[in-house]
Amino acid sequence: MDAPGTWLFPGRRAGQPFRPDHLSALLNKVGVPTAAARGAAIRQQLLEMPAPVVADALGYHDKTTTRLRSETGGTWSRYAPGDHARSPAGWTPRGTGDS
């Protein structure tokens, strides 16, 4: 069981957080436009990360994030999705002493 006060936005039920729709309604009631804030947050992420990464992280379609990136003026146009943990054959990282 969680200690009292561990939720940033505690809900009405003991030990449960606010439901997202309830929190959104409360924020809208006090003048915070949640839809606009969400859109602004996504666009900011697209300026900092490639569209496919943002799409995967947030559950968006990659065409949607690519369109939003174009609208925001993002420059991640040459991102190659896939497994970047492997090095290409014959590739040696810089600074390994091979000169």
pLDDT, tens digit, for every residue of 79-91?
A: 666 666 666 666 6
Beta bridge partners of 10: 17
- pTM over cut 0.75: no
Is residue 48 within 8 A of residue 79, CB to CB? The reply is no
pLDDT at residue 17 in the model = 73
Q: Which residues of the chain are modeled with pLDDT < 50?
A: 1
pLDDT at 79 (0 to 100): 62
Residue with tokens 């957080």: 17
The total number of residues written for the chain in this structure: 99
pLDDT at residue 92, as a whole number? 66
CA angle 65, 67, 69 (to 5 degrees): 65
74, 47 contact by CB (below 8 A): yes
What is the rounded (10 degree) CA torsion for 26, 57, 45, 94? 150
Contact present, 28 and 42 (Cβ < 8 Å): no
Backbone phi and psi for residue 63, each to the nearest 5 degrees, phi listed first: -70, -35
The reported pLDDT for the residue numbered 21 is 84
Residue-level pLDDT at 83: 65
